């Protein structure tokens, strides 16, 4: 570490440390220069000596050098070099001399809405670059946003500078590499959680590694403060952390709709409900023109009153730190009507970790299903913004959206109330629901009656196969059949973790944290084994996407045989909470999978043979499947997508282009057909999610509207329209979860009819869709 007198000194043979200019939680910052370029200032961070006592930090410092140095964005303070000299470990960075956003906000109080949007778009763009490199920042706050003057900006595009008075400046995100290096178990115990409570996402305190969604939350808090002068929650650290998890932030008076609804989505309690950094950048950039000329909001000294969150975040083990005394906050709150930005939808997980202690599928009790199911993805489409909800497209036919009739009546068959969590079997023939803490009930969806076939308490639970359900208690796993009878087989789960099931095969890790990947049959007998150091996987449609940490390779395996279908070097562990871990998609059926690399998509058949690569596909949300496809059909669809800007929805034999305008909240189809969106209640978001073509491709199905617990809200609905003329054909309340196979045991006209599962508030509802 530098000497106490801060005297200038050399760092290796290439750098000179001129003067110490700052200090932080992980070390001191020096103004420096290269020996051969004395006129170009640099910033050098010297890590604290006690951090270097941890072998994990030292190993990561060496390993992460290439990753950190390849992050290049005009809105990120770039890492130019990483130096080890004796006991000194240094990160050499761009020097940005205009102070930081904390100082600017202290001076000016608030920024005008248009500038909040422009600055937020730039920071989100920089953050997206960091995330694309596999890095989670973990400490987004105003002090870590440096201000570059026009002469210091790394060539930002025209119009990408924020203007305040006469000052032109570009925000640049700093310290993105420090948490990456210091994020080991030992260093976390030594230094505490990385981050600042005022800006900290609720999931940061959980044992699992944070995802990029945590950074999006922190950026939302930062922009909230830039807009009104104060963070949404204040108080003692324990109070702030509890509010982050349980309270919805109040809306500051004077923050326009176009800005507020982006912030609101960024501050969602559930990580899956937040847009990505890419989507935030796009949404804020799109909102900026409407905000031009808007007056700054009044600078607040206390946050607006908060409200109970509709879907609070619960930490692992349900151990929420309760504030000793909830702070009493006063201030204006005036949420108003308007058209908010859309947000993306991801389904609740259908697999569960079956180990103790619980892993990443942690219990989130009392969460509104509509909110969990309504995490949305922002994607630009013709005429506006379109939302698309990823859902694994398993077996084609009876569980495909295309199986639903267009001309039909709907009949409610069954309602399961007050559901906290649920699991749906891969073939959609059985359902398990948790309706009170740890209490699970199993339903055979083809049974004559509606009563559960089995109920009991489970520490963790999930489907083992399509016909057997796993309940783990005290490290022992009991398998239950769809007749409600225990199979007699008890499986040990003290050193084993279930990752998921294909429906016929359960996939587990042979180890409590990492180990070999093992496939087991319905009775727990081994089918195949792949040795290595595996920790997680994404399973569906007969494929397994996983990562072997020893060889640092991303793998796609056949779930049936364990055969490697694709193997690629990957320095970073993929985000297995993502619908595309490592860019791999297994949501198009059993005949194909694909890999996304920027705007290029490479398609493989079920044997791992490359079928084709298509360039110019901007986002996965640009195409929707109503049924499973072959590899050749997918390549053909992607070529159509690349050829224009519309969202392509592929049915059984027809492909339709859709355009959604989130500003006017309208959607149009082929030949200008217009599909009437239900009129929203004040404060509801414009959410339009194409689900696919139905019937003989003569109908199109959407989930429309925002899930809400308000009794006066329009809420969310599943709506079918005639594809050609836009006539509404049928409609039910809620958000589509999945299509269920027909049951001959259903009553009356519903016997043998296609069915669908819908999340309506805290209820799960099964509807028959009876064709006319």
The DSSP secondary structure of 646-696, one letter per residue, reads SEEEE-SS-EEEEEEETTTTEEE-GGG-EEPPPPPPTT----EEEEEEETT
349 vs 668 pLDDT, higher one: 668
Q: What is the pLDDT of residue 179?
A: 54
Q: Among candidates 618, 331, 35, 378, which has minimal Cα distance to 17?
A: 35
| Cα atoms found within 13 Å of the Cα of residue 541, Cβ hemisphere only | 27
The first and second tokens of residue 616, run together, are 């110019």
Q: What is the pLDDT of residue 7?
A: 66
**Would you list the domain boundaries of the chain?**
9-94, 385-771
Three-state SS at 402? helix
341-355, 500-514, 583-597, 656-670: which range is least confident on average? 341-355
For residues 273-290, give the mean pLDDT: 95
For residues 333-359, give the mean pLDDT: 28
Sign of the Cα torsion 484, 355, 541, 585 reads positive
309-313, 599-603, 612-616: which range is least confident on average? 309-313
Please list the residues that pair with 605 across neighbouring strands.
592
Gap between the Cα atoms of 355 and 542, Å rounded: 23
Angle at 77 between CA 72 and CA 81, to 5 degrees: 75
- In this prediction, residue 396 has a pLDDT band, given cuts at 50, 70 and 90, of very low
Pairing state between β 699-704 and 728-733: unpaired
50 vs 113 pLDDT, higher one: 113
Say whether pLDDT at 352 is over 50: no
For residues 73-101, give the mean pLDDT: 85
Q: What is the pLDDT of residue 242?
A: 82
Say whether pLDDT at 285 is over 70: yes
Q: Which residues contact 698 (CB under 8 A, 6 or more apart)?
A: 406, 722, 723, 724
Gap between the Cα atoms of 27 and 46, Å rounded: 5
Sign of the Cα torsion 619, 625, 628, 634 reads negative
For residues 241-266, give the mean pLDDT: 93
CB 738 within 8 A of CB 424: yes
**What CATH architecture applies to the domain 9-94?**
2-Layer Sandwich (3.30)
| Mean predicted lDDT score pLDDT of the chain | 80
Angle at 383 between CA 382 and CA 384, to 5 degrees: 95
Q: What is the pLDDT of residue 180?
A: 53
DSSP at 100: B
Q: What is the pLDDT of residue 337?
A: 25
The first and second tokens of residue 343, run together, are 């947000």
- In this prediction, residue 135 has a pLDDT band, given cuts at 50, 70 and 90, of confident
- In this prediction, residue 690 has a pLDDT band, given cuts at 50, 70 and 90, of very high
* Per-state percent for the chain, helix, strand, coil, to nearest 5: 20, 35, 45
What confidence tens digit (pLDDT) does each residue in 533-544 have?
Answer: 898 899 999 999
The first and second tokens of residue 239, run together, are 């109070």
What confidence tens digit (pLDDT) does each residue in 38-47 have?
Answer: 889 998 888 7
Q: What is the pLDDT of residue 771?
A: 93
pTM, 2 dp: 0.54
Say whether pLDDT at 63 is over 80: no
Burial state string for 383-395 with b = 16 or more CB within 10 A and e = fewer than 16: bbbbbbbbbbbbb
Q: What is the pLDDT of residue 195?
A: 57
**What CATH architecture applies to the domain 385-771?**
7 Propeller (2.130)
Say whether pLDDT at 308 is over 80: yes
255-269, 486-500, 622-636: which range is least confident on average? 486-500
624 vs 682 pLDDT, higher one: 624
Q: Among candidates 496, 498, 478, which has minimal Cα distance to 488?
A: 478
Percent of the chain with pLDDT over 90: 46
Q: What is the pLDDT of residue 184?
A: 42
Q: What is the pLDDT of residue 60?
A: 63
Say whether pLDDT at 388 is over 70: no
Per residue, the 3-state secondary structure of 605-649, as one string, reads ECCCCEEEEEECCCCHHHEEECCCCCHHHHHHHHHHHHHCCCEEE
Residue numbers annotated as active site: 139
Q: What is the pLDDT of residue 323?
A: 38
When mean pLDDT is compared over 160-169, 703-712, 739-748, the highest value belongs to 739-748
Q: What is the pLDDT of residue 341?
A: 27
490 vs 634 pLDDT, higher one: 634
741 vs 514 pLDDT, higher one: 741
CB 417 within 8 A of CB 766: no
154 vs 455 pLDDT, higher one: 455
Say whether pLDDT at 120 is over 50: yes
69-83, 179-193, 745-759: which range is least confident on average? 179-193
Q: How many CB atoms lie within 10 A of CB 397?
A: 12
Q: What is the pLDDT of residue 356?
A: 27
For residues 578-582, give the mean pLDDT: 86
CB 93 within 8 A of CB 20: no
Say whether pLDDT at 503 is over 80: yes
For residues 345-356, give the mean pLDDT: 28
The first and second tokens of residue 191, run together, are 């230094």
Say whether pLDDT at 691 is over 90: yes
Say whether pLDDT at 50 is over 80: no
What confidence tens digit (pLDDT) does each residue in 427-452 have?
Answer: 999 999 999 888 999 999 999 889 99
């Amino acid at each position: 570490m530098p000497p106490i007198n801060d005297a200038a000194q050399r760092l290796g043979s290439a750098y000179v440390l001129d003067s110490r200019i700052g200090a932080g939680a992980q070390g001191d910052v020096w103004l420096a220069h290269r020996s051969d370029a004395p006129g170009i200032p640099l910033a050098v961070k010297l890590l604290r000596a006690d951090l270097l006592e941890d072998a994990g930090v030292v190993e990561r410092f060496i390993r992460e050098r290439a990753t950190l140095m390849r992050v290049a964005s005009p809105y990120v303070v770039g890492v130019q070099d990483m130096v080890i000299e004796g006991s000194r470990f240094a990160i050499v960075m761009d020097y940005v001399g205009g102070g930081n956003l904390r100082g600017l906000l202290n001076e000016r109080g608030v920024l005008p809405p248009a500038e909040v949007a422009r600055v937020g778009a730039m920071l989100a763009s920089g953050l997206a670059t960091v995330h694309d490199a596999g890095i989670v920042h973990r400490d987004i706050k105003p002090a870590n946003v440096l201000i570059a003057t026009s002469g210091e900006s790394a060539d930002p595009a025209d119009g990408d500078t924020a203007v305040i008075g006469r000052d032109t400046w570009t925000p640049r995100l700093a310290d993105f590499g420090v948490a990456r290096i210091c994020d080991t178990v030992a260093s976390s115990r030594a230094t505490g959680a990385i981050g600042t409570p005022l800006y900290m996402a609720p999931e940061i305190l959980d044992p699992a590694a944070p995802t990029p969604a945590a950074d999006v939350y922190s950026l939302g808090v930062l922009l909230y403060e830039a807009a009104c002068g104060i963070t949404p929650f204040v108080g003692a650290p324990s109070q702030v952390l509890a509010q982050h998890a349980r309270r919805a932030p109040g809306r500051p008076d004077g923050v326009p709709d176009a800005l507020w609804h982006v912030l609101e989505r960024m501050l969602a309690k559930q990580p899956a409900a937040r847009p990505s950094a890419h989507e935030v950048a796009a949404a804020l950039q799109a909102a900026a023109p409407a905000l031009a000329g808007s007056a700054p909001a009044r600078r607040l000294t206390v946050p607006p009153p908060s409200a109970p969150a509709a879907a609070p975040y619960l930490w692992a083990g349900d151990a929420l730190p309760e504030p000793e005394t909830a702070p009493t906050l006063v201030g204006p709150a005036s949420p108003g009507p308007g058209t908010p930005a859309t947000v993306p939808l991801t389904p609740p997980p259908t697999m569960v970790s079956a180990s103790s202690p619980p892993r990443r599928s942690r219990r989130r009790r009392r969460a509104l299903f509509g909110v969990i199911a309504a995490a949305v993805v922002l994607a630009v489409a013709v005429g506006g913004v379109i939302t698309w909800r990823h859902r694994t497209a398993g077996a084609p036919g009876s569980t495909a959206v295309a199986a639903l009739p267009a001309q039909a009546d709907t009949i409610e068959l069954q309602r399961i109330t007050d559901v906290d969590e649920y699991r749906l079997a891969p073939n959609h023939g059985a359902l398990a629901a948790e309706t009170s803490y740890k209490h699970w009930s199993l339903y055979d969806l083809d049974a004559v009656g509606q009563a559960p076939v089995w109920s009991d308490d489970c520490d963790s639970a999930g489907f083992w196969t399509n016909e057997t359900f796993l309940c783990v208690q005290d490290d022992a796993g009991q398998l239950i059949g769809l007749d409600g009878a225990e199979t007699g087989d008890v499986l040990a789960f003290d050193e084993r973790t279930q990752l998921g099931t294909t429906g016929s095969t359960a996939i587990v890790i042979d180890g409590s944290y990492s180990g070999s990947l093992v496939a087991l049959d319905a009775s727990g007998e081994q089918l195949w084994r792949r040795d290595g150091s595996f920790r997680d996987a994404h399973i569906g449609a007969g494929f397994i996407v996983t990562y072997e940490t020893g060889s640092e390779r991303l793998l796609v395996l056949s779930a049936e045989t364990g055969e490697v279908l694709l193997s690629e070097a990957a320095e970073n562990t993929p985000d297995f909470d993502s619908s595309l871990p490592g860019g791999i998609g297994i949501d198009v059926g059993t005949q194909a999978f694909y890999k996304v690399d920027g705007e290029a998509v490479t398609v493989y058949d079920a044997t791992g043979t490359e079928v084709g690569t298509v360039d110019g596909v901007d986002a996965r949300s640009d195409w929707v499947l109503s049924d499973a496809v072959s590899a050749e059909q997918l390549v053909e669809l992607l070529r159509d997508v690349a050829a224009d800007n519309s969202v392509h929805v592929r049915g059984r034999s027809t492909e339709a282009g859709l355009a959604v305008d989130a500003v006017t909240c309208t959607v149009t189809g082929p030949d200008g057909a217009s599909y009437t969106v239900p009129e929203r209640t004040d404060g509801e978001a414009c959410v339009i999610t194409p689900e696919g073509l139905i019937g003989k491709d003569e109908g199109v199905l959407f989930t429309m509207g925002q899930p809400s617990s308000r009794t006066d809200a329009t809420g969310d609905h599943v709506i079918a329209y005639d594809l050609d003329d836009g006539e509404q054909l049928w409609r039910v309340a809620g958000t589509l979860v999945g299509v269920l196979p027909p049951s001959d045991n259903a009553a009356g006209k519903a016997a043998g009819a296609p069915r669908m599962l819908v999340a309506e508030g805290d209820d799960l509802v099964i509807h028959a869709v009876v064709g006319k």
